[in-house]
């Protein structure tokens, strides 16, 4: 895939402040004259947003672990084809609220160890990693209470509770070591301005 743009993902546990930081970064980039788009997963294209409703709403046992993995991957494939790839080819900065690292953690860890399947499917169907991944790291108790304070119907994974969030946090920190070339770990337990300052410091040297 040709990519003259820059592909940036935000990752972290629920409530860590990813969406807030992704939005702020997009605003700052646009204000400073960069061509940037803000997108999210699951979702980010019309078809993938339809799949988002299927995977985040309704009975938590609606899908088997394997079906769920296929649905998240199908959503990502559509998002990549319709939104991410065209924007990168046009030289834009793509800011994505979650990407494949979330699947490595959530589908890879939450219902048994499915990491090998997640990786195989990723290689077969997606094959793309962000240029930079900003991991907004924070204590799961704080993240969960922030996430719970929001009013939303999309609470499937938040409902797994703090035990899973603890494993997710450790898992994300493990990914930051595994993919040290693209990950930046940022302490999310500070006020949003300071977090945003670190986000800017991490990406500004990489802008197209
Ligand atoms: P995520 O996308 O990681 O789930 P959000 O950006 O939606 O997180 O933030 C979760 C909640 O915490 C929101 O209500 C948001 O306004 C609030 N929040 C975000 N960043 C901070 C921060 N640095 N300090 C305090 N509250 C924050
Ligand atoms: P998101 O809207 O980012 O939730 P939050 O703002 O609470 O962090 O993501 C929705 C949920 O989808 C979140 O609990 C994580 C889950 N998810 C997966 O399980 N697998 C994936 O591949 C992605 C992208 C998200």
State the helix-helix crossing angle for 115-125 and 100-109, rounded to 10 degrees: 150
- Using CB distances shorter than 6 Å, the residues near ligand 2 are 14-15, 18-19, 41-42, 56, 72, 97-98, 102-103, 106-107, 147, 154, 157-158
For 19-63, what is each residue's pLDDT tens digit? Answer: 999 999 999 999 999 999 999 999 999 999 999 999 999 888 899
Tokens read off for 97: 């609220």
Question: SS3 for 171?
Answer: helix
β-partners of residue 7 are 94
Does pTM top 0.85 for this prediction? yes
Tokens read off for 59: 């009975």
For 11-23, what is each residue's pLDDT tens digit? Answer: 999 889 999 999 9
What is the predicted pLDDT for the residue at 119?
98
What is the predicted pLDDT for the residue at 164?
83
Q: Is 111 exposed, middle or buried (0-12, 13-18, 19+ CB in 10 A)?
A: middle
- Please count the residues of the chain: 208
CATH class, 6-204 region: alpha beta
């Amino acid at each position: 895939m040709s990519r003259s743009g820059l592909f940036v993902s935000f990752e972290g546990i629920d409530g860590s402040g990813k969406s807030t930081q992704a939005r702020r970064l997009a605003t700052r980039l646009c204000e400073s004259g960069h061509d940037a788009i803000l997108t999210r997963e699951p979702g980010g294209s019309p078809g993938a947003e339809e799949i988002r409703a299927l995977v985040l709403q309704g009975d938590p046992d609606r899908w088997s672990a394997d079906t769920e993995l296929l649905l998240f991957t199908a959503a990502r494939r559509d998002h990549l084809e319709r939104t991410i790839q065209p924007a990168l080819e046009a030289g834009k900065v793509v800011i994505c609220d979650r990407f494949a690292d979330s699947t490595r953690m959530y589908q890879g860890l939450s219902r048994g160890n499915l990491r090998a399947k997640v990786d195989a499917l990723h290689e077969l169907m997606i094959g793309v990693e962000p240029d930079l991944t900003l991991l907004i790291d924070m204590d799961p108790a704080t993240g969960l209470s922030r996430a719970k304070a929001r009013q939303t119907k999309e609470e499937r994974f938040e409902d797994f509770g703090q035990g899973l969030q603890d494993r997710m946090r450790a898992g994300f920190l493990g990914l930051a070591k595994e993919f040290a070339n693209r990950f930046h770990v940022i302490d999310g337990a500070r006020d949003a301005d300071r977090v945003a300052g670190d986000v800017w410091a991490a990406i500004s040297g990489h802008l197209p």
